[in-house]
Structure 1
Amino acid sequence: MAEGAVAPSNDPPPTPPQRPDDEDCCGQGCVPCIFDLYDEAMGRYRDELAAWKERHPGESPP
């Protein structure tokens, strides 16, 4: 976004993925494990959050 430009009001911050409970894993060594999928989702969330913060300098997500 150009310096001084206003971020669109319809650009909400991304929401983090919900971490699975420890009991949600079956412990059978699934590939991928639900925790692998969660880690991938967290990586996407961090990328999306960084991009959102770039579009909304000085703001913090709720």
Structure 2
Amino acid sequence: MSTADTPANPPDDPRPQPPPEPDPSDCCGEGCVPCVYDTYEAALERYKAALVAWQARHPDG
């Protein structure tokens, strides 16, 4: 068991990780639909929801 694998943080239910933020050079500025920033914002919303659910399962985490 690693130091991160504790009863408050079992290995089969790891804490969600935020999505990587796009680099400014990833956006071409052409108005793509979806833009890399739109995709990032959607991933960020999913991460936030997953984090809230994870925190409910791990109140001491």
Q: Report sequence identity in percent.
A: 52
TM-score under structure 2 length normalisation:
0.81
The gaps in structure 1 that reach 5 residues or longer are: 1-5
Matched with 1:40 is: 42
Describe the SS at the equivalent of 1:41: helix
Matched with 2:54 is: 52
Aligned equivalents of 1:41, 1:57: Cα separation in 2? 24
Aligned equivalents of 1:50, 1:8: Cα separation in 2? 15
The gaps in structure 2 that reach 5 residues or longer are: 1-6
TM-score under structure 1 length normalisation:
0.79
Matched with 1:3 is: none
Aligned equivalents of 1:34, 1:24: Cα separation in 2? 7
Matched with 2:4 is: none
| 8 A contact 1:7–1:55 mirrored in 2 | no
Select 1:21's aligned residue among 20, 23, 39.
Answer: 23
For residues 7-56 of structure 1, the C-alpha deviation after alignment (integer angstroms, 9 at most, x for no partner) is: 67221011110000111100000010000000000000000000000000
Aligned residues: 54
